[in-house]
Amino acid sequence: MSYVKNIRMFLRVYDLGSMSAAARDQRTSPAVASARIAELERHLGVRLFNRTTRSLQPTENGRIFHDGARKVLEAIEEAEAAVVDATRNPRGTLFVAAPLGVGRRFIAPHVPAFKDDWPAIDVRLRLSDRLIDVTAEGLDLAFHMGPLPDSTLRLRRVADCPRILCAAPAYIAARGMPVRAADLRDHDCLNLRFPGAREFQWTLQTPEGPRRFDVTGPFESDDGDVLTGWALDGRGIVLKPVFEVADHLRSGALVPVARQSPPLPTQLVALTPPRRDRDPKTRLFSDFMAARCKAELARQIVGIDLGALQLPR
């Protein structure tokens, strides 16, 4: 199986662009990772990467080998999955990603219980609010909120997530209460921004239908919880899924604003690359977490008047 391990290491080095990052990903040392690549290069009789002290780039042969190696590894994983009894003995490692808010509240707390039920499955969970390339980063499953680019990923709808515009009472006292979307031009909006993000525009409901509105403000971050903290500090208006600010809404630390132009709800979905959705351990994890996400979402927003978040008729 060392040849298969060498191929797996090659793919992680290729995808992550770093020998040390691939070594951490595979829970080994950079020396072992380098040795595996060297052994694979000797076997093939070609150089797969050009290495310098500052960078590592695939050669033309490396790029050619990558496409075939990916197919070989997927074929091996499919063959292994086909002979595993998914109801009695699923095994292997799952690579899972989720947004920070969803991951911290709904996924991470239930990973230990999943491991208790399926002890032969290891879970490696990555949390980030940035846009993630599920296929390029070698993920088996990624939870996602918000608009999706067209892709070949398999999509499973997990739950609807109402959203809200809100701010601290201190901010409203100082700057006034915005009533409709047009009023936001005169307010500080707290923006979630990272490469590829579209949250510099907020899509809000209006009597004429959904419209995108440009928003600006002096603060921005790629971490949604940071934006919530700034909103609580009276620094501006934030657009959030209700579950992320439900406790603050119930306590009065944050209050709804611009009720005549509420944001559209979003969806929590689970994404899997083609064929990975047939992997028994991926299906088990997806089923397990989908049920718990729905239950936890419902619990988080108990006591919140969701009718107030809809456009008045």
- Which tens digit of pLDDT belongs to each residue from 26-65? 889 999 999 999 999 999 999 999 988 778 899 999 999 9
CA distance 98 to 20: 23
Residues 75 and 132 in one domain: no
Residues 190 and 258 in one domain: yes
Look at residue 273 and tell me if it is in a domain: yes
Structural domain containing residue 99: 92-159+267-300
- Identity (one letter) of the amino acid at 171? Y
* Alpha-carbon separation of residue 54 from 25, 111, 115 (angstroms): 20, 37, 39
Residues 63 and 184 in one domain: no
DSSP for residue 155: E
CA distance 276 to 284: 12
Residues 153 and 274 in one domain: yes
| Percentage of the chain modeled with pLDDT above 90 | 41
227 alpha-carbon distance from chain centroid: 17
Q: What is the pLDDT of residues 151-175, one digit of tens each?
A: 788 888 888 888 999 999 999 999 9
DSSP for residue 193: -
Residues 43 and 191 in one domain: no
For the cut 90, the answer to whether the pLDDT of residue 132 exceeds it is no
Among 83, 118, 134, the domain-final residue is 83
CATH of the domain at 221: 3.40.190.290
Instruction: List % helix, strand, coil for the chain (3-state, nearest 5).
Output: 45, 20, 35
Look at residue 310 and tell me if it is in a domain: no
Query: Which residues have a Cβ under 8 Å from the Cβ of 14 and sit 6 or more positions away?
Result: 58, 62, 66
Give the count of domains, the chain: 3
Highest mean pLDDT: which range of 67-76, 135-144, 232-241, 274-283: 232-241
Residues 44 and 184 in one domain: no
Q: In 3-state terms, what secondary structure has residue 133? A: coil
CA distance 122 to 20: 21
Q: Tell me if 49 sits within 8 A of 62, measured CB to CB.
A: yes
Look at residue 305 and tell me if it is in a domain: no
Among 61, 83, 105, the domain-final residue is 83
Residues 24 and 67 in one domain: yes
Residues 145 and 293 in one domain: yes
From the CB of residue 256, how many other CB atoms can be counted at a distance below 10 Å?
18
Residues 189 and 257 in one domain: yes
Residues 296 and 154 in one domain: yes
**pLDDT, position 307:** 60
Closest to 55 in 3D by CA, of 26, 5, 23, 20:
20
Look at residue 312 and tell me if it is in a domain: no
Name the least confident of 29-43, 116-130, 274-288.
Answer: 274-288
Among 83, 109, 136, the domain-final residue is 83
**pLDDT, position 55:** 80
Look at residue 14 and tell me if it is in a domain: yes
For the cut 90, the answer to whether the pLDDT of residue 109 exceeds it is yes
Name the least confident of 4-8, 60-64, 94-98, 198-202.
Answer: 198-202
Look at residue 203 and tell me if it is in a domain: yes
CA distance 77 to 210: 44
Look at residue 254 and tell me if it is in a domain: yes
**pLDDT, position 287:** 92
Look at residue 308 and tell me if it is in a domain: no
CATH of the domain at 283: 3.40.190.10
Q: What is the pLDDT of residues 243-273, one digit of tens each?
A: 889 999 989 999 999 988 999 888 899 999 8
**pLDDT, position 183:** 92
Q: Tell me if 180 sits within 8 A of 258, measured CB to CB.
A: yes
Residues 118 and 248 in one domain: no
Closest to 265 in 3D by CA, of 145, 178, 174, 116:
145
From the CB of residue 131, how many other CB atoms can be counted at a distance below 10 Å?
13
Mean pLDDT confidence for 226-239:
96
Residues 190 and 225 in one domain: yes
CATH of the domain at 23: 1.10.10.10
